[in-house]
A and B are shown apart, each in its own frame.
Chain A
Amino acid sequence: MNEITRQLRERAKQLLQEGTVDCVIGYAQGSVPMQEQPFFAYTPEEADKLVWTGFCTNNLANFLIKRSGKNAVVAQGCVSRNIVGLIKENQVQRENVYILGVHSPGMIDAHKVQNHFPGKTIVQVEEDGKDIVVQGMDFEERLPRKKFKRDNCFTCTHRNAVLYDEFIGEEGPQTGGGKIDNVAAPWEKLDSDQRWEAFEQTFKDCIRCYACRNVCPLCYCDVCFVDENNPQWVGKSLHEPDVYTFHILRAFHCAGRCTDCGACESACPVGIKMRRLTSKIEKDIRQLYGYQPGLDLETPAPLSLYQPNDPDVAE
């Protein structure tokens, strides 16, 4: 058991025992490799199931929406930024959430690991310092952890929780090392026809399961526009215009709100790289408005506010 897991369990137990919170939302060890499960501990005994590993890829802020009682939640940088966003958007009350801040080691991309072993069955993956040890039905291989991190964790700007009631473990390096503005750079080199082609290629495998939407803490509308049926804005089949409309509208809906947590890409069963679309939007928000979502509770989100000196990007 790693040190963070040990401390997390200890504090969760205390919080539940004292009655400070009704529930601690964290992760439990998953039943399949590279897949920890969002877990809700209501009793000190249940707190013993909590873990903190590099496979905690769902965004737990998502589970705070419409939840009653007082909940503690385990939050690394991106998740804490989403909690800030949800508080600002009145989906979560600050006094009803107790944030257990953590430092993110950068999460592992299960798609990348699986793609490294085409056709092989992975039985177990364990973290060992800077490595991951992958065991299969008939093989074992030690790989550098860094190479298999999720793309968004390379360009992370806030690996430590930005808002918390207490911090579990030590704060660590704040950035993932990669330059976030470079993520959008490949798109910017393309003309509009090429961009469309790249976009179509990126989203061609979508099966419209909506895991990306449902795992995202930004997608909390009571009725999503793709579910509206009076009028029905979007067709229900895999007809390309309908699939593309869903992804484009969702990306724009997240403009200035997306924390680049990567949960959408981790949840996608077919491995679609949604960030290819969101990266350019988020870069525009950073450059035009000087704004990064979820860093504080005061600054209003740029697209929820009109100012006479808003930048004009009509050209």
Chain B
Amino acid sequence: MHDKIIAKKDLDSFVRSLAQSRDVFAPVRDKASMGWAQIDSADNLEFDFLNTDFSPKAFFFPQNERLMHFTNSSRDEDGMIMEEEPPRDREQVLLNIRPCDAKAFCVLDLVFCQDENAPDVYWKDKRDKTVLIGLACKAPCPTCFCTSVNCGPHHEEGLDMLLVDLGEDLLARPLTDKGQELAADLQDAPQEAVDQAAGQKKASEEAITSTVDMSKINERPVLEEYEHPYFDRVFEACINCGTCTFYCPTCHCFDIQDETQDEFGHRVRNWDTCMSWLFTHHTSGHNPRGTKKDRVRQRFMHKFKYMPIKLGGAIGCVGCGRCTRKCPVNIDVRTVVNSMNE
């Protein structure tokens, strides 16, 4: 596939053509915060931003998702019978998504679609109907460490197209059939633009100075890592709020509840968090993760030990640094992983 070029001044018509038959979403600034918003033109697009405050995982795995609904009446002939929610009727585009967030979807595919005959239909429906157009990172944040966890500022995995900001132009690199289709009308990129993008990739990767080391974690048996003395201290400052898990692009634990109100009821899937004692509380009263230490250890062991074992080496972290930036008590994932590795 050939690299293409698109002038920023022509971006508006590109976005408008995308929006004709799809819902287009992009990072848009709202005062100091960067959020995902639906757009139909290039008017509010920004190219100088770190990343969105929230990860885009909610596009495929919403914080609250209605799975089924029912009429809350046992007298009604159709009452209490679950009806499924209709699938998405339109394609959607996530434009200017960061490579780390796109990579996170690939990690979550391994979870939600691990059995191809029985995938999570809610996740898969939205994934299949979404085009991901990435925007490479020019200036990574000091808390970014994507290059240590199989990702990077120009990482292409999971994207249909990668855009590289070259100033007045964007290099557009189609990566899948979907991406190629969208790029069909664009001009081929001149060699100097391709070279410029390659130079930028190198500079961005070099700008990421914070790292985590996983060599010992990988080698060590699970129980040995589980009993690492470091876990006796790391939980002390934690307040078990779960902010880290809510902001994390790869955290995916959930709870399913039936909620009713008057004549209506629905089955809803909500984000849950290993930080909450209730998450693993058994009906019997036993809680296998009854202490704060158990819960904090679970979060890091899950991402950096259990997931790689279970998912063919895939780390449950893409190095976006959101958990570190948002933690109210400054639990820094880099410090934790490096300590687990000691």
Instruction: List the A side residues contacting B325 at CB < 8 Å.
Output: 32
Instruction: List the B side residues contacting A119 at CB < 8 Å.
Output: 29, 32, 34, 46, 48-50
CB distance from A111 to the nearest CB of B (A): 8
Q: Does A238 contact B (CB under 8 A)?
A: yes
**Known: A58-B329, A211-B243, A269-B328. Is A229-B270 also a contact (CB below 8 A)?**
no
**Known: A137-B139, A209-B242, A237-B268. Is A37-B237 also a contact (CB below 8 A)?**
yes
Q: Is the interface of B mostly helix, strand, loop or mixed?
A: loop
Stretch among B164-172, B191-199, B330-338 lining the A interface: B330-338
Q: How far is the CA of A36 from the CA of B330 in the complex (A)?
A: 7
Interface centre among A40, A209, A235, A239 (most CB of B within 10 A): A209
Asked if A118 and B29 make an inter-chain contact with CB atoms under 8 angstroms apart, the answer reads yes
Asked if A236 and B257 make an inter-chain contact with CB atoms under 8 angstroms apart, the answer reads yes
Partner of A115, one of B31, B324, B330: B31
Asked if B241 and A31 make an inter-chain contact with CB atoms under 8 angstroms apart, the answer reads no
CB distance from B146 to the nearest CB of A (A): 15
Instruction: List the B side residues contacting A117 at CB < 8 Å.
Output: 32
CB distance from B339 to the nearest CB of A (A): 12
Instruction: List the A side residues contacting B277 at CB < 8 Å.
Output: 227
Mark interface residues in A127-146 (1 if CB within 8 Å of B CB, else 0): 00000000001000000000
Q: Does A266 contact B (CB under 8 A)?
A: yes
Instruction: List the A side residues contacting B242 at CB < 8 Å.
Output: 209-211
Interface residues of A in 236-263 (CB under 8 A from B): 236-239
Partner of A269, one of B46, B142, B143, B326: B326
Partner of A267, one of B49, B246, B328: B328
Mark interface residues in A36-77 (1 if CB within 8 Å of B CB, else 0): 111110000000000000000010001100000000000000
Instruction: List the A side residues contacting B241 at CB < 8 Å.
Output: 209-211, 213-215, 267
Instruction: List the A side residues contacting B143 at CB < 8 Å.
Output: 32
Mark interface residues in B230-265 (1 if CB within 8 Å of A CB, else 0): 000100110111110011000000010101000000
Q: Does B278 contact A (CB under 8 A)?
A: yes
Which single residue of chain B is at the shortest CB-CB distance from A46?
A: B233
Interface residues of B in 106-155 (CB under 8 A from A): 139, 141-143
Partner of B31, one of A31, A118, A214: A118
Partner of B243, one of A36, A209, A229: A209
Number of A interface residues, CB 8 Å?
Answer: 38
Q: Does B13 contact A (CB under 8 A)?
A: no
Q: Does A123 contact B (CB under 8 A)?
A: yes
Q: How far is the CA of A238 from the CA of B64 in the complex (A)?
A: 7
Instruction: List the B side residues contacting A215 at CB < 8 Å.
Output: 239, 241, 328-329
Q: Does B63 contact A (CB under 8 A)?
A: yes
Asked if B239 and A121 make an inter-chain contact with CB atoms under 8 angstroms apart, the answer reads no
Asked if A239 and B64 make an inter-chain contact with CB atoms under 8 angstroms apart, the answer reads yes
CB distance from B143 to the nearest CB of A (A): 6
Instruction: List the B side residues contacting A239 at CB < 8 Å.
Output: 64, 259
Asked if B328 and A58 make an inter-chain contact with CB atoms under 8 angstroms apart, the answer reads yes
Asked if B141 and A118 make an inter-chain contact with CB atoms under 8 angstroms apart, the answer reads no
Asked if A121 and B141 make an inter-chain contact with CB atoms under 8 angstroms apart, the answer reads yes
Instruction: List the B side residues contacting A169 at CB < 8 Å.
Output: none
Q: Does A35 contact B (CB under 8 A)?
A: yes
Interface centre among B64, B241, B255, B325 (most CB of A within 10 A): B241
Q: How far is the CA of A235 from the CA of B48 in the complex (A)?
A: 39
**Known: A38-B236, A39-B237. Is A115-B142 also a contact (CB below 8 A)?**
no
Apart from A31-B330, A40-B233, 6 more pairs, CB < 8 Å: A114-B32, A119-B49, A213-B241, A215-B329, A235-B257, A267-B328
CB pairs A–B below 8 angstroms (23 shown): A31-B330, A32-B142, A32-B330, A35-B330, A38-B329, A39-B237, A40-B233, A40-B236, A40-B237, A58-B239, A58-B329, A114-B32, A115-B31, A115-B32, A118-B32, A119-B34, A210-B241, A214-B240, A235-B259, A236-B268, A237-B259, A267-B241, A267-B329
Ranked nearest first, the 10 interchain pairs of A and B with the lowest CB-CB distance are A267-B328, A211-B241, A237-B64, A37-B330, A30-B330, A214-B239, A115-B32, A31-B332, A38-B237, A118-B32
Q: Which residues of B contact A (CB under 8 A)?
A: 29, 31-32, 34, 46, 48-50, 63-64, 139, 141-143, 233, 236-237, 239-243, 246-247, 255, 257, 259, 268, 270, 276-278, 324-332, 334-335
